[in-house]
A and B are shown apart, each in its own frame.
Chain A
C-alpha cells in the first residue's frame, strides 16, 4: 500500500514532517488536584492527578520519597466496537507501567517523602479502527504522557522538567512524524519517544520493529523535533493558565 503519495502527501493529507493537530486543556476535573485533557488528532485522553497525599497502605510508604502510581484505562466507548475487557488486562498494565516510569523520572519525589501521587489516565477516544486492537492502544501512549505532564504541572507537583512524547515511523522509505492509526497498523517501524526538552534527556524510547541504525537515527531525530514542538505548545498552555490564575486572583 502506498502511504506517501508521489506528491509527498500522507493518507490524511499531512506532509511527512507534519504533526496532527494538538490541543490541551487544564482543569477539567473539579475534585482532582490537577487534571487535563490532551488531544492529538483523533486521540483524546483525560488525565487526573491526586496528591501528594497520605499513603493509605502503610506497607507501601517510602520514607525518603513519594510513591507514584498510575492507572491507564481505555473507556469502553473509545473505539468502534464496544467490547468489555477485564479491567487489568496485560496491555493496560504495560502502558500503566510505561507512563508511571516515564513520569516518575521527572517528578522530584524526594521532596515529598511518605506521600503518594496517583495519576489516572483514561482514553476517551482512540484513533482509528473498528476493533480495540493493540495498535489502537499503543498509539495513545504519547497522548497519555502529554496529558499526564499537563495534569501534574496543574497539581503543582515539583518536576525537573516537562516530559513530552511523540511518535515517528518509517514507511515507504520515508520517515514519518506522529503516526495515525492506519500508518501505525501498517506494520512498519514505530518509535515512541519521550524526552525532557530542557535537560535534553530521553525518558522513554520504544520501537516495535527493526530499523537500520542510520535510518533509526533519522527517525529518532524527527521524533525529537516532534517532542519539542509538543513541549512548546504545552509550555504555552501552562503559561497562559498560570497568568490567568494570577491575574484573576488579584492582589
Chain B
C-alpha cells in the first residue's frame, strides 16, 4: 500500500493504524480472502464447467491470475477484478474528460483509458438546440464549442472501428467551467444510478465520472435558454478579451462562499482518495460536514490530523452500516 505521504506524529500514527485495522476486520468478515496477485492459481471446480474472464489465463490446466485483484465469480464465469488499473469503459458510463485535439468532425478526449476517446460533432447537441445535419460551417466553428484543454462531460456510446466513441446528446453534458477537476484512481468510483449531483446547500455541482475524473464546480441551471445565454456570453468574451464589460464580469463572478465550498468539497475528495476509500456522494458530504463542524480550515483538510479523523469516521460509519 502506498504509504501516506503525510507527516504523522506518534499518536496520529497509532490512531490511523487502529482505524485501518478496524476497517480490515470489518472487510475480512464480509468476504473471504479472494485477493490474488499475478501468477497465483485460482481454485476452481472443473465439474460445473468454466468460463475464463478478464485477468485470467490457463497454464498447465490451472486457472492463473494475470493481474493483482479480487477474484469474482458469476455462475460459470471466473474473472479477476483489478484494482489499480486504467479505466475500462462500459457503454452508458458517465465520464469527465479533457479535450486534447480538435480533429476533422471530431474531438479527441483524454479519459484515463488506454486510448483517446472520440467525440463526434454529429453525436452532440448543437448549442442552438435544433436537430439538423451538421454543415461544413459547423465543422469550422467546432472550436467555439470545445477548444483544446476544455474539460467536458459526456457519456460512453460504444466501441466503433476507430476507437471508443462518446456522445453528449443532452443539456446536462457539455463543457464544464468554473470549478476544479480532480483525478482519483478509477476503482474508487462505483457505477451508480446517479452521477450528477447538485448540492443545494452549497450551490455546487458534483460530477463523479466513472473514469475517476471528478468535477466540482459552481451550480449551473440546465435549461436551454441559459445555455444559449452562456454561449453568447462566451462569444463576447472571445471577441474582446481585453475589454470585458462590467456586466460580463458580474455574470462571470463566483461568490467567495461558493468558491470556498468548491475547495472544501475538492479537498474532502482529495483526503478520501489518499486514504483509498471509495468515493460516493454520501461519504463526500459526510467528510465536508465533518470538516465544517470541527472548524477545520480548508487548507488544513489536506493535513495529517484531518486524514486521521476521516479514517476514524469511516471506520465508525462502516461498522454502523454493518450492524443494520
Contacts and interface: CB of A to CB of B under 8 A. Distances in A.
A161 B35 contact: no
Contacts of A51: 114
B59 A198 contact: yes
A197 B191 CA distance: 37
Contacts of A196: 39
B115 interface: yes
B57 interface: yes
B291 to A, nearest CB: 20
Interface of B: 1-3, 20, 23-24, 26-28, 30, 33, 35-40, 55, 57, 59, 64, 66-70, 82-86, 114-116, 187-188, 275-278, 314, 318
B86 A52 contact: yes
A213 B143 CA distance: 69
A251 B114 CA distance: 26
A27 B37 contact: no
Contacts of B68: 153-154, 156, 238-239, 241-242
A238 B38 contact: yes
6 contacts: A26-B1, A52-B86, A198-B39, A244-B1, A245-B187, A249-B276
B27 A247 contact: yes
A156 B84 contact: yes
A241 B68 CA distance: 9
Nearest to A240: B1
Nearest to B20: A248
Contacts of A235: 37, 40
6 smallest CB-CB distances across A and B, nearest first, come from: A156-B85, A27-B2, A247-B27, A244-B1, A52-B114, A248-B276
Given A27-B1, A244-B1, A250 B114 contact: no
Contacts of A71: none
B318 A250 contact: yes
Given A26-B2, A156-B68, 12 more contacts: A33-B84, A33-B85, A33-B86, A51-B114, A154-B84, A155-B84, A156-B82, A156-B83, A158-B67, A162-B37, A246-B83, A248-B23
A153 B275 contact: no
B263 to A, nearest CB: 20
Contacts of B66: 108, 158-160
B86 A156 contact: yes
Nearest to A159: B38
A138 interface: no
